């Protein structure tokens, strides 16, 4: 007889060795499967994995629903079961996978967090533009918020991609390139950076990249995250923000101010307009909150 907890341990070791799973994934699998085995032994009278049926698993997930588990937790538990029983079937320890036809509940996609216009303005006031580093930091922040590009795209921009007279930048993603306009504020910050800060960074070095670190090397994602977090802290912004928060904020603020969905889609580089639709949903959710708080006959 295969002891149930022993089988879980062997499954975790297999996933670690063969699938190169992370510690967090392994901890989730162990937690989900040990809860399941406790239920099966104590409430279903099942003491061997070969005895488990789809009915047992359906009863277990229905119990999770009755106990008000979040859909995301139930969905994760089903994913853990499926991975485990697939392994057991592959090792010929069970005849078939009883979790193969379990339906995972729909998990509502959380709307992205955005910054207010006041928070953006406060953030952009933080770089010390009397110093070269501050001029670079402001140029990066202004361009990111002005275009909504990804941080990987931002640090990959080359000097030749920038057209200051016409205020646009050519942005390269993994497969395509797109042209994104930007406004006067970003243009002014970029012009100042190119004239006064970038030469002091690169000195005698040659670099095609628009943004460099203080030693003239290519700017890293980690370097930009560090400067963003520092500016957010100095601005007194207490909730966590990431480079993607600025991308979300750009899209949401554009739509709030009347930009059409198709144009925002093209600037963000979304292949499917339904991805861009979430910013409309986000603004609708915000309007409903404002209405609920403000209308006298709410």
Identify the active-site residue in 76, 136, 150, 247.
247
In the residue annotation, 14 being an active-site residue is answered as no
10 Å CB burial of residue 175 (0-12, 13-18, 19+) is: exposed
Identify the active-site residue in 175, 239, 295, 297.
175
In the residue annotation, 175 being an active-site residue is answered as yes
Closest listed residue to residue 54, CA positions, set 76, 81, 30: 81
In the residue annotation, 5 being an active-site residue is answered as no
In the residue annotation, 239 being an active-site residue is answered as no
Tokens of 5: 């907890």
Q: What is the CA radius of gyration of the chain?
A: 26
Identify the active-site residue in 29, 60, 193, 279.
279
If you ran DSSP here, which 8-state letter would residue 185 be given?
Answer: H
> Under DSSP, is residue 101 helix (H, G, I), strand (E, B) or coil?
coil
Identify the active-site residue in 16, 104, 244, 270.
270
Residue 177: phi and psi, rounded to 5, are -130, 155
Q: Report how far apart, in Å, the C-alpha atoms of 7 and of each of 28, 47, 191 are.
A: 16, 12, 63
Known catalytic residues are 175, 247, 270, 279
């Amino acid at each position: 007889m295969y002891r149930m907890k022993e089988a879980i341990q062997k499954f975790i070791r297999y996933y670690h060795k063969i699938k190169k799973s992370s510690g967090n994934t392994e901890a989730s699998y162990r937690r989900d499967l040990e809860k399941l085995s406790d239920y099966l032994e104590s409430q279903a009278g099942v003491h061997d994995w070969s005895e488990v049926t789809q009915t047992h698993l359906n009863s277990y997930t229905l119990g999770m629903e009755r106990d008000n588990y979040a859909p995301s937790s139930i969905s994760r538990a089903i994913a853990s079961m499926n991975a485990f029983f697939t392994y057991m079937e592959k090792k010929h320890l069970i005849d078939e996978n009883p979790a193969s036809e379990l339906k995972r509940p729909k998990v509502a996609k959380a709307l992205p967090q955005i910054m207010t216009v006041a928070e953006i303005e406060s953030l952009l006031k933080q770089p010390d533009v009397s110093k070269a580093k501050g001029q670079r930091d402001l140029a990066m922040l202004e361009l990111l918020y002005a275009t909504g590009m990804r941080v990987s795209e931002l640090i990959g921009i080359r000097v030749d991609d920038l057209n200051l007279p016409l205020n646009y930048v050519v942005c390269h993603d993994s497969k395509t390139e797109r042209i994104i306009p930007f406004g006067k504020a970003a243009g002014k910050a970029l012009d100042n950076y190119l004239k006064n800060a970038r030469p002091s960074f690169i000195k005698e070095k040659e670099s095609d990249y628009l943004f460099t670190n203080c030693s003239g090397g290519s700017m890293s994602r980690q370097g930009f995250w560090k400067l963003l977090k520092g500016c957010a802290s100095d601005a007194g912004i207490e909730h966590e923000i990431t480079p993607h928060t600025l991308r979300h904020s750009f899209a949401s603020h554009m739509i709030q101010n009347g930009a059409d969905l198709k144009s925002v889609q093209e600037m963000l580089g979304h292949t499917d307009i339904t991805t861009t639709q979430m910013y409309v949903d986000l603004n609708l959710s915000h309007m409903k909150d404002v209405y609920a708080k403000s209308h006298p006959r709410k």
